[in-house]
Amino acid sequence: MDNYTITIDGPAGSGKSTIAKILAKELGLTYIDTGAMYRAVTLLALENGIDVDDEQAILDLAKKVKIDIDNHATDADKYTSVTIDGRDVTGPIRSREVGAAVSMVSKLSGVRKYMVSLQREMAQGAKAVLEGRDTGSVVFPDALLKIFLTASLEERINRRKQQLLQNGQKADRALIKEEIIHRDKIDSGRQDSPLVVPQGGVIVDTTGLSIKEVVEKIKRLYGEKVHG
């Protein structure tokens, strides 16, 4: 079932979303932005005044609503459309507040277990590209191609800055650096499903590479897997 699936994991700003969206479009794959799902649950918690470490309350709330993420390949510079019970939260889930809290919520094992079950359901029977932190290590360890995307800290800061500016948000370099380092630390240091290179995964360092070069490299690796 997983045999045409690609997983892309990596730290914040490594280019996962951009690359995954282009791959989805060019290879005709279902696109699953797992980070958007953790962001939606985090927004719910914040809106309802729930503590970011109150696992049971967050889980109860998440199970009560319907979170829909658009799995069609979108343009690389567009955010995944997300709704909660039909309400468009595409913009709000990218806010600084959600960005600051999402790593705390995504540390919670119960929340992760629920998200993973939704992600598996979504990809069921589809040829998909999933992007996140644990898609190759936990969600689809049997995926055909497992990529670990990375880039130097400097480059990741520059990319995040560009992304924020493009979306009309403020972009303070020192603040971005602090946020990325903080997020890396929590994502890689948590007990449940930390960010790791998945077993059998291929590390692709995108520092100094153009988007096109990264896409071509992954397409080559995918082609090799598909054609044995």
Chain residues binding ligand DC by CB under 6 A are 12, 34-35, 38-39, 102-103, 106, 132-135, 183, 187
Tell me the closest approach of the beta carbon of residue 60 to ligand DC, in angstroms. 20
Identify whether the C-beta of residue 67 lies closer than 8 Å to the C-beta of residue 83.
yes
Tell me the closest approach of the beta carbon of residue 9 to ligand DC, in angstroms. 7
Tell me the closest approach of the beta carbon of residue 136 to ligand DC, in angstroms. 10
Residue written as token pair 């948590």: 190
Tell me the closest approach of the beta carbon of residue 228 to ligand DC, in angstroms. 29
Residue written as token pair 């979108």: 74
The CA-based angle 19-156-34, given to 5 degrees, is 45
Q: Which is nearer to ligand DC, 5 or 135 (CB)?
A: 135
Identify whether the C-beta of residue 144 lies closer than 8 Å to the C-beta of residue 225.
yes
The single-letter code of the amino acid at 6 is I
Phi-psi region of 168 (alpha: psi -120 to 50; beta: other; left: phi over 0): left
Helix (H, G, I), strand (E, B) or coil at 87: strand
Q: Which is nearer to ligand DC, 27 or 133 (CB)?
A: 133
- The pair of three-digit structure tokens given for residue 224, joined into one six-digit string: 């090799």
Identify whether the C-beta of residue 14 lies closer than 8 Å to the C-beta of residue 135.
no
Tell me the closest approach of the beta carbon of residue 213 to ligand DC, in angstroms. 22
Nearest to 116 by CA among 89, 134, 91: 134
- The pair of three-digit structure tokens given for residue 174, joined into one six-digit string: 């020192």
Q: Which is nearer to ligand DC, 97 or 224 (CB)?
A: 97
Q: Which is nearer to ligand DC, 133 or 156 (CB)?
A: 133
Tell me the closest approach of the beta carbon of residue 115 to ligand DC, in angstroms. 7
Calpha distance 146→110 (Å, rounded): 25
Q: Which is nearer to ligand DC, 4 or 39 (CB)?
A: 39
Q: Which is nearer to ligand DC, 140 or 222 (CB)?
A: 140
Tell me the closest approach of the beta carbon of residue 197 to ligand DC, in angstroms. 14
Calpha distance 59→54 (Å, rounded): 9
Q: Which is nearer to ligand DC, 135 or 206 (CB)?
A: 135
Identify whether the C-beta of residue 59 lies closer than 8 Å to the C-beta of residue 114.
yes
